[in-house]
């Protein structure tokens, strides 16, 4: 996949995730209840790390041929550590 396509895909995923966050905020305000806002926030807690993984995967796929294998392994390890620190 060409590099510009990967960058476009990564950016579009982030735009989609950002729009989802804004829509969720409006839903929280519309429902006006703590229980509903809590449920919406829980879904966002699942979607956020999934978006991070997808965007990171695309970025790594685009760099795989350009950087040494050791750095790819280190980057993958960094992604895993970020996810562990987020307590998935």
User: 0.75 cut: is pTM over it?
Assistant: yes
Closest listed residue to residue 19, CA positions, set 53, 44, 56: 44
The predicted pLDDT at position 62 comes to: 86
Question: Distance between the two ends of the chain, CA-based, in angstroms?
Answer: 30
Q: What is the mean pLDDT of residues 29-46?
A: 94
Q: What is the mean pLDDT of residues 27-33?
A: 97
Could you give the angle at which helices 34-63 and 69-85 cross, rounded to 10 degrees?
Answer: 170
Task: Render pLDDT for 55-75 as a digit per residue (tens, 0 to 9).
Answer: 998 988 888 888 898 998 898
Answer yes or no: are the C-beta atoms of 75 and 61 closer than 8 Å.
no
Please state the φ and ψ torsions of residue 68, each to the nearest 5 degrees: -60, 150
């Amino acid at each position: 996949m060409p590099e510009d396509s990967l960058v476009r895909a990564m950016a579009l995923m982030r735009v989609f995730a950002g729009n989802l966050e804004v829509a969720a905020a409006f839903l929280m305000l519309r429902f006006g209840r703590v229980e509903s806002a809590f449920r919406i926030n829980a879904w966002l807690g699942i979607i956020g790390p999934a978006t991070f993984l997808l965007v990171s995967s695309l970025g790594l796929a685009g760099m795989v041929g350009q950087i040494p294998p050791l750095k790819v392994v280190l980057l993958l390890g960094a992604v895993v550590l970020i996810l562990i620190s987020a307590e998935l």
